[in-house]
Structure 1
């Protein structure tokens, strides 16, 4: 564990963010914090400050709204993310995408590895790239390891849309945006997705925009 003096700048940064009150400002693409790997969490914030920060991440995620939020997205380069998905989608969409409700959980120092070789591609967006979506092929099943906010070990297999969420958020902690993995020919505004590609799967978009699916 690093000396307390090494922790001070990050703790002060989080205290400043929380002191402003309300939801946290979300950092948009172009800011270096989104492109640098976040440092492993090893007590930089202390239990009480970590708990307050996690609650602020959760409130910010809900307000956005989104189903995941990583600490670098609010300008804090720590390997911490939160996820939660009530999955309010039609049944045919839920079935096609493997989207099932996910309870709120905190991911500390998460890493994932694929389970099997299957991949699935769907439109995906990001709170740090507002207004746009693109088709991303991701592993359909991953094993996630890490800890929760209390330091308890996490070792869980995620499938379908929950697997997509944990890959997306863990990628943020490695300095990656979903666009790094996207089919760029699929890049569409939110309005275009709603008007043209609002379907359970992206086959029609692939045909019309000229990209391949796995």
Structure 2
């Protein structure tokens, strides 16, 4: 699915000013929610708009906000900063059956700048996702099972890594944020559930029951 968003109109000076205000506040900022324009624009590629020290402090702040939420990823636009930076980490204890079905393995913390991904192979899988910027909802999203990620580390090193399973899903979700895309843009709309309904009905390891009862996506076994 191709989704085109407009580039942010923030200048480099305005981006730095926004970062400095956030860092000087001395508190963990709230997470920007859907409806805020910053989530619907392509964030500016990181090109040294902030100093190395500011970048390090911003990444630390983003990690703290992610942990508090709690979540497994956070993009700079979710703090109101239209800059292509995201942090990712998944160390949650997960039921072994759920982990096996979803291909969910621990993801050590890392920060990525200017990420791009492309699918590896032709296999796509659908699972329910949520988002810290879309409170109260879950929806099934069909995504490539494996992706190749090209990104820059905070120290300026350019890397290429391949991710599979749930790690690939996190990478795609956070990279999408930096390009003005929310997971709902890619979701199966008939699968959308509020958190209570999801927990009560659809929190199985896979989406087979939800697919059948809510009527979204064909059953692969019937293809």
TM range (shorter): over 0.9
Retained in 2: the 8 A contact 1:87–1:100? no
Shift of 1:18: 1.5
Which runs of structure 1 show a deviation greater than 3 angstroms over 4 or more consecutive aligned residues? none
1:73 equivalenced with 2:78 (yes/no): yes
User: What's the counterpart of residue 149 of structure 2?
Assistant: 144
Q: Structure 2 regions of 5+ residues with no counterpart?
A: 1-10
State which of 33, 38, 43 in structure 2 corresponds to 1:28: 33
Taking the aligned partners of 1:7 and 1:174, their CA distance within structure 2 comes to: 17
Q: Residue by residue, what CA displacement relative to the aligned partner does 1:45-70 show, whole Å, maximum 9, x if unpaired?
A: 11000000000000000000000000
Q: Structure 1 regions of 5+ residues with no counterpart?
A: 1-5
Residue 101 of structure 2 aligns to a residue whose secondary structure is helix
User: What's the counterpart of residue 93 of structure 2?
Assistant: 88
Retained in 2: the 8 A contact 1:24–1:57? no
Retained in 2: the 8 A contact 1:18–1:24? no
Taking the aligned partners of 1:83 and 1:16, their CA distance within structure 2 comes to: 23
State which of 142, 164, 169 in structure 2 corresponds to 1:164: 169
Q: Residue by residue, what CA displacement relative to the aligned partner does 1:55-87 show, whole Å, maximum 9, x if unpaired?
A: 000000000000000001111000100000013
Taking the aligned partners of 1:47 and 1:108, their CA distance within structure 2 comes to: 13
User: What's the counterpart of residue 205 of structure 1?
Assistant: 210
State which of 63, 79, 101 in structure 1 corresponds to 2:106: 101
Aligned length: 209
Retained in 2: the 8 A contact 1:132–1:188? yes
User: What's the counterpart of residue 196 of structure 1?
Assistant: 201
Relative to the length of structure 2, the TM-score reads 0.92
State which of 119, 122, 126 in structure 2 corresponds to 1:121: 126
Taking the aligned partners of 2:125 and 2:70, their CA distance within structure 1 comes to: 24
User: What's the counterpart of residue 136 of structure 2?
Assistant: 131
Taking the aligned partners of 2:69 and 2:138, their CA distance within structure 1 comes to: 15
Change (3 A) 1:138 1:119: same
Taking the aligned partners of 1:37 and 1:152, their CA distance within structure 2 comes to: 22
Residue 151 of structure 1 aligns to a residue whose secondary structure is coil
Retained in 2: the 8 A contact 1:111–1:146? yes
Residue 112 of structure 1 aligns to a residue whose secondary structure is strand
Relative to the length of structure 1, the TM-score reads 0.95
Taking the aligned partners of 2:46 and 2:106, their CA distance within structure 1 comes to: 27
